[in-house]
Amino acid sequence: MKKYLILLLGVASCNLVTKDKNNSGVSDNIEITKLTSNDSVRVRGYIEKSFSTPLHSLEHQQYLDSALAIQPDNAWLWQQKAMPLYKARKYQLGKPFLAKAVAHDPKKWLDYSGFMKCIFSKDYLNSITDLIKAKNEYGDSYVMDHTYNFYIGLDYLQLNEFNKAKEFLVKSKEQQFKDFPNALPQEACHYLDWYYSGIADFELGNYQEAIVSFDMALKGYDNFADALYFKGRSMTKLGNVEEGVEWEKKAFENGDNSFNEDNAIYEIYPYQVFHKLNESVRPK
Protein backbone atom coordinates (compact mmCIF):
# COMPACT_ATOMS: atom_id res chain seq x y z
CA MET A 1 0.00 0.00 0.00
CA LYS A 2 2.86 2.38 0.80
CA LYS A 3 4.46 1.81 -2.60
CA TYR A 4 1.09 2.43 -4.27
CA LEU A 5 0.60 5.69 -2.37
CA ILE A 6 4.13 6.90 -3.16
CA LEU A 7 3.56 6.20 -6.85
CA LEU A 8 0.25 8.07 -6.84
CA LEU A 9 1.76 11.03 -5.03
CA GLY A 10 4.57 11.09 -7.58
CA VAL A 11 2.03 11.24 -10.36
CA ALA A 12 0.13 13.91 -8.48
CA SER A 13 3.27 15.97 -8.05
CA CYS A 14 3.77 15.96 -11.80
CA ASN A 15 0.23 17.24 -12.19
CA LEU A 16 0.75 20.11 -9.77
CA VAL A 17 3.24 21.82 -12.04
CA THR A 18 1.77 24.81 -13.87
CA LYS A 19 1.69 24.08 -17.60
CA ASP A 20 2.67 26.16 -20.57
CA LYS A 21 -0.69 26.64 -22.25
CA ASN A 22 0.84 26.67 -25.71
CA ASN A 23 2.46 23.25 -25.32
CA SER A 24 0.01 21.29 -23.18
CA GLY A 25 -2.99 20.39 -25.33
CA VAL A 26 -5.18 22.26 -22.84
CA SER A 27 -8.30 23.78 -24.40
CA ASP A 28 -7.88 27.43 -25.35
CA ASN A 29 -10.74 28.63 -23.13
CA ILE A 30 -9.35 27.01 -19.96
CA GLU A 31 -7.65 29.36 -17.51
CA ILE A 32 -4.43 28.03 -15.98
CA THR A 33 -4.12 28.09 -12.19
CA LYS A 34 -0.86 29.45 -10.82
CA LEU A 35 -0.08 27.73 -7.55
CA THR A 36 1.93 29.20 -4.72
CA SER A 37 4.26 26.93 -2.77
CA ASN A 38 1.70 26.85 0.02
CA ASP A 39 -1.04 25.88 -2.47
CA SER A 40 1.06 22.97 -3.76
CA VAL A 41 1.64 21.69 -0.24
CA ARG A 42 -2.08 21.88 0.54
CA VAL A 43 -3.06 20.07 -2.66
CA ARG A 44 -0.54 17.30 -2.01
CA GLY A 45 -1.89 17.02 1.53
CA TYR A 46 -5.44 16.56 0.32
CA ILE A 47 -4.31 13.97 -2.23
CA GLU A 48 -2.45 12.05 0.46
CA LYS A 49 -5.53 12.12 2.67
CA SER A 50 -7.76 10.99 -0.20
CA PHE A 51 -5.64 7.89 -0.73
CA SER A 52 -5.67 7.08 2.98
CA THR A 53 -9.45 6.56 2.66
CA PRO A 54 -11.32 3.78 0.81
CA LEU A 55 -11.40 4.40 -2.94
CA HIS A 56 -15.19 4.35 -3.19
CA SER A 57 -15.89 6.40 -0.06
CA LEU A 58 -17.40 9.87 0.12
CA GLU A 59 -14.34 10.97 2.12
CA HIS A 60 -12.10 10.07 -0.84
CA GLN A 61 -14.21 12.27 -3.11
CA GLN A 62 -14.35 15.11 -0.59
CA TYR A 63 -10.57 15.31 -0.24
CA LEU A 64 -10.25 15.42 -4.03
CA ASP A 65 -12.86 18.20 -4.05
CA SER A 66 -10.72 20.15 -1.58
CA ALA A 67 -7.69 19.76 -3.85
CA LEU A 68 -9.72 20.85 -6.86
CA ALA A 69 -10.97 23.93 -5.02
CA ILE A 70 -7.33 25.06 -5.02
CA GLN A 71 -6.38 23.76 -8.47
CA PRO A 72 -9.56 23.36 -10.56
CA ASP A 73 -7.65 22.87 -13.82
CA ASN A 74 -5.82 19.72 -12.67
CA ALA A 75 -7.05 17.15 -15.19
CA TRP A 76 -5.59 14.23 -13.26
CA LEU A 77 -7.63 15.14 -10.18
CA TRP A 78 -10.83 15.19 -12.26
CA GLN A 79 -9.95 11.77 -13.68
CA GLN A 80 -9.32 10.49 -10.15
CA LYS A 81 -12.82 11.62 -9.18
CA ALA A 82 -14.35 9.91 -12.22
CA MET A 83 -12.54 6.57 -12.07
CA PRO A 84 -13.95 5.14 -8.79
CA LEU A 85 -17.48 6.09 -9.85
CA TYR A 86 -17.13 4.26 -13.16
CA LYS A 87 -15.77 1.22 -11.33
CA ALA A 88 -18.82 1.36 -9.06
CA ARG A 89 -21.03 1.54 -12.21
CA LYS A 90 -22.16 5.05 -11.28
CA TYR A 91 -21.52 6.20 -14.82
CA GLN A 92 -23.82 9.22 -14.77
CA LEU A 93 -22.02 10.59 -11.73
CA GLY A 94 -18.57 9.96 -13.18
CA LYS A 95 -19.33 11.30 -16.66
CA PRO A 96 -19.04 15.06 -15.95
CA PHE A 97 -15.78 14.55 -14.03
CA LEU A 98 -14.24 12.61 -16.92
CA ALA A 99 -15.42 15.33 -19.30
CA LYS A 100 -13.62 17.88 -17.09
CA ALA A 101 -10.40 15.85 -17.32
CA VAL A 102 -10.67 15.83 -21.12
CA ALA A 103 -11.47 19.55 -21.26
CA HIS A 104 -8.38 20.42 -19.22
CA ASP A 105 -5.98 18.00 -20.95
CA PRO A 106 -7.42 16.33 -24.05
CA LYS A 107 -4.05 15.02 -25.20
CA LYS A 108 -3.77 13.02 -21.99
CA TRP A 109 -7.37 11.97 -21.37
CA LEU A 110 -9.35 11.97 -24.64
CA ASP A 111 -8.33 8.42 -25.55
CA TYR A 112 -8.97 7.27 -21.97
CA SER A 113 -12.45 8.75 -22.23
CA GLY A 114 -13.03 6.70 -25.38
CA PHE A 115 -11.87 3.57 -23.56
CA MET A 116 -14.15 4.22 -20.57
CA LYS A 117 -17.15 4.76 -22.82
CA CYS A 118 -16.43 1.53 -24.68
CA ILE A 119 -15.73 -0.84 -21.78
CA PHE A 120 -17.54 0.77 -18.85
CA SER A 121 -20.51 2.97 -19.73
CA LYS A 122 -21.26 1.25 -23.09
CA ASP A 123 -21.64 4.62 -24.80
CA TYR A 124 -20.39 3.24 -28.11
CA LEU A 125 -21.14 6.11 -30.48
CA ASN A 126 -19.44 8.66 -28.24
CA SER A 127 -16.55 6.28 -27.68
CA ILE A 128 -16.01 6.20 -31.44
CA THR A 129 -16.18 10.00 -31.56
CA ASP A 130 -13.55 10.37 -28.85
CA LEU A 131 -11.17 7.81 -30.32
CA ILE A 132 -11.47 9.05 -33.90
CA LYS A 133 -10.76 12.57 -32.64
CA ALA A 134 -7.74 11.29 -30.70
CA LYS A 135 -6.49 9.51 -33.85
CA ASN A 136 -6.94 12.62 -35.98
CA GLU A 137 -5.39 15.07 -33.53
CA TYR A 138 -2.64 13.02 -31.90
CA GLY A 139 -2.10 10.00 -34.19
CA ASP A 140 -2.73 6.29 -33.72
CA SER A 141 -1.59 5.02 -30.35
CA TYR A 142 -2.53 2.79 -27.43
CA VAL A 143 -4.70 3.22 -24.35
CA MET A 144 -5.09 0.67 -21.56
CA ASP A 145 -2.95 -1.93 -23.37
CA HIS A 146 -4.80 -1.81 -26.70
CA THR A 147 -4.85 0.31 -29.84
CA TYR A 148 -7.45 2.98 -30.45
CA ASN A 149 -8.53 0.93 -33.47
CA PHE A 150 -9.15 -2.08 -31.22
CA TYR A 151 -11.69 -0.21 -29.10
CA ILE A 152 -13.33 1.35 -32.15
CA GLY A 153 -13.68 -2.19 -33.52
CA LEU A 154 -15.38 -3.27 -30.29
CA ASP A 155 -17.69 -0.26 -30.46
CA TYR A 156 -18.80 -1.25 -33.94
CA LEU A 157 -19.25 -4.89 -32.89
CA GLN A 158 -21.63 -3.72 -30.17
CA LEU A 159 -23.51 -1.61 -32.71
CA ASN A 160 -23.88 -4.66 -35.01
CA GLU A 161 -21.83 -2.90 -37.71
CA PHE A 162 -19.69 -5.95 -38.32
CA ASN A 163 -17.94 -4.83 -41.51
CA LYS A 164 -16.82 -1.63 -39.80
CA ALA A 165 -15.73 -3.65 -36.78
CA LYS A 166 -13.63 -5.90 -38.98
CA GLU A 167 -12.12 -2.88 -40.76
CA PHE A 168 -10.83 -1.37 -37.53
CA LEU A 169 -9.71 -4.68 -36.05
CA VAL A 170 -7.64 -5.25 -39.19
CA LYS A 171 -6.15 -1.77 -38.69
CA SER A 172 -5.36 -2.66 -35.09
CA LYS A 173 -3.49 -5.80 -36.11
CA GLU A 174 -1.61 -3.98 -38.88
CA GLN A 175 -0.56 -1.33 -36.37
CA GLN A 176 0.84 -3.97 -34.02
CA PHE A 177 2.62 -5.83 -36.83
CA LYS A 178 4.30 -2.53 -37.68
CA ASP A 179 5.18 -1.77 -34.06
CA PHE A 180 6.52 -5.29 -33.36
CA PRO A 181 7.97 -6.43 -36.70
CA ASN A 182 10.17 -9.19 -35.27
CA ALA A 183 7.49 -10.94 -33.24
CA LEU A 184 5.41 -13.92 -34.33
CA PRO A 185 1.87 -12.93 -35.40
CA GLN A 186 0.31 -14.42 -32.26
CA GLU A 187 2.79 -12.45 -30.15
CA ALA A 188 2.79 -9.19 -32.09
CA CYS A 189 -0.98 -8.89 -31.75
CA HIS A 190 -2.81 -9.19 -28.46
CA TYR A 191 -4.86 -12.38 -28.24
CA LEU A 192 -8.03 -10.28 -27.98
CA ASP A 193 -7.31 -8.68 -31.39
CA TRP A 194 -7.42 -12.18 -32.86
CA TYR A 195 -10.45 -13.13 -30.80
CA TYR A 196 -12.53 -10.15 -31.83
CA SER A 197 -11.41 -10.49 -35.45
CA GLY A 198 -12.83 -14.00 -35.24
CA ILE A 199 -16.04 -12.65 -33.71
CA ALA A 200 -16.45 -10.12 -36.55
CA ASP A 201 -16.02 -12.87 -39.15
CA PHE A 202 -18.34 -15.18 -37.22
CA GLU A 203 -21.07 -12.54 -37.26
CA LEU A 204 -20.46 -11.98 -40.99
CA GLY A 205 -20.81 -15.70 -41.68
CA ASN A 206 -17.13 -16.12 -42.58
CA TYR A 207 -16.76 -19.17 -40.38
CA GLN A 208 -13.55 -20.55 -41.85
CA GLU A 209 -11.83 -17.18 -41.46
CA ALA A 210 -13.21 -16.96 -37.94
CA ILE A 211 -11.64 -20.30 -37.04
CA VAL A 212 -8.25 -19.10 -38.28
CA SER A 213 -8.49 -16.06 -35.96
CA PHE A 214 -9.68 -18.14 -33.00
CA ASP A 215 -6.74 -20.49 -33.51
CA MET A 216 -4.38 -17.51 -33.42
CA ALA A 217 -6.03 -16.30 -30.20
CA LEU A 218 -5.49 -19.75 -28.73
CA LYS A 219 -1.81 -19.61 -29.65
CA GLY A 220 -1.57 -16.40 -27.64
CA TYR A 221 -3.69 -17.67 -24.73
CA ASP A 222 -3.71 -21.42 -24.31
CA ASN A 223 -7.17 -22.93 -23.69
CA PHE A 224 -8.86 -19.52 -23.85
CA ALA A 225 -12.40 -20.70 -23.16
CA ASP A 226 -14.27 -18.02 -25.10
CA ALA A 227 -12.21 -18.69 -28.24
CA LEU A 228 -12.73 -22.44 -27.83
CA TYR A 229 -16.47 -21.86 -27.59
CA PHE A 230 -16.77 -19.72 -30.72
CA LYS A 231 -14.43 -22.03 -32.63
CA GLY A 232 -16.86 -24.83 -31.81
CA ARG A 233 -19.84 -22.78 -32.91
CA SER A 234 -18.04 -21.89 -36.15
CA MET A 235 -17.39 -25.56 -36.86
CA THR A 236 -21.03 -26.38 -36.21
CA LYS A 237 -22.07 -23.62 -38.62
CA LEU A 238 -19.82 -25.22 -41.25
CA GLY A 239 -21.63 -28.54 -40.76
CA ASN A 240 -18.98 -30.22 -38.58
CA VAL A 241 -21.46 -30.65 -35.74
CA GLU A 242 -19.76 -33.47 -33.86
CA GLU A 243 -16.37 -31.74 -33.87
CA GLY A 244 -18.00 -28.42 -32.99
CA VAL A 245 -19.67 -29.96 -29.93
CA GLU A 246 -16.31 -31.31 -28.79
CA TRP A 247 -14.72 -27.86 -28.97
CA GLU A 248 -17.62 -26.34 -27.05
CA LYS A 249 -17.28 -29.07 -24.43
CA LYS A 250 -13.58 -28.24 -24.13
CA ALA A 251 -14.54 -24.59 -23.68
CA PHE A 252 -16.73 -25.38 -20.67
CA GLU A 253 -13.99 -27.58 -19.21
CA ASN A 254 -11.67 -24.55 -19.35
CA GLY A 255 -14.23 -22.00 -18.27
CA ASP A 256 -11.86 -20.41 -15.75
CA ASN A 257 -9.60 -19.34 -18.64
CA SER A 258 -11.69 -16.37 -19.69
CA PHE A 259 -10.74 -12.72 -20.11
CA ASN A 260 -7.75 -11.71 -18.00
CA GLU A 261 -7.98 -7.98 -18.67
CA ASP A 262 -7.45 -5.87 -15.53
CA ASN A 263 -10.89 -4.31 -15.87
CA ALA A 264 -12.69 -7.64 -16.33
CA ILE A 265 -13.21 -7.62 -12.54
CA TYR A 266 -15.50 -4.61 -13.02
CA GLU A 267 -17.11 -5.16 -16.40
CA ILE A 268 -18.16 -7.99 -18.71
CA TYR A 269 -16.42 -7.53 -22.04
CA PRO A 270 -18.23 -7.77 -25.39
CA TYR A 271 -18.79 -11.39 -26.41
CA GLN A 272 -17.37 -12.69 -23.14
CA VAL A 273 -19.11 -16.02 -22.67
CA PHE A 274 -17.49 -17.23 -19.47
CA HIS A 275 -18.28 -14.69 -16.79
CA LYS A 276 -19.87 -14.72 -13.35
CA LEU A 277 -23.33 -13.65 -14.54
CA ASN A 278 -23.68 -16.52 -17.01
CA GLU A 279 -25.47 -19.24 -15.07
CA SER A 280 -24.74 -21.89 -17.71
CA VAL A 281 -20.99 -21.74 -17.06
CA ARG A 282 -21.17 -21.99 -13.26
CA PRO A 283 -20.14 -25.27 -11.61
CA LYS A 284 -23.16 -27.46 -10.91
Per-position DSSP letters for 160-203, written without gaps between them: T-HHHHHHHHHHHHHHHHHHSTTS-HHHHS-HHHHHHHHHHHHH
Exposure string for 5-44, b = 16+ CB within 10 A, e = fewer:
eeebeeebeebbeebeeeebbbeeebeeeebeeeebebbe
What is the Cα 50 distance to its own chain's centre? 24
10 Å CB burial of residue 99 (0-12, 13-18, 19+) is middle
Q: Report yes or no: 22 and 57 within 8 Å, Cβ to Cβ.
A: no
Does pLDDT of 243 surpass 70? yes
pTM value is 0.88
Quick: pLDDT tens for 31-87. Answer: 577 889 998 999 999 999 999 999 999 999 999 999 999 999 999 999 999 999 999
- Is the CA virtual torsion 225, 230, 235, 236 positive or negative? positive
- Per domain, the residue ranges of the chain are 160-284
CATH architecture of 160-284: Alpha Horseshoe (1.25)
Tell me which of 8-22, 62-76, 87-101 is least confident.
8-22
For residues 154 and 118, is the Cβ–Cβ distance under 8 A?
yes
For residues 160-171, average pLDDT = 98
CA distances from 118 to 123, 138, 212, 277 (A): 6, 19, 26, 20
What's the pLDDT tens digit per position in 137-150?
A: 999 999 999 999 99
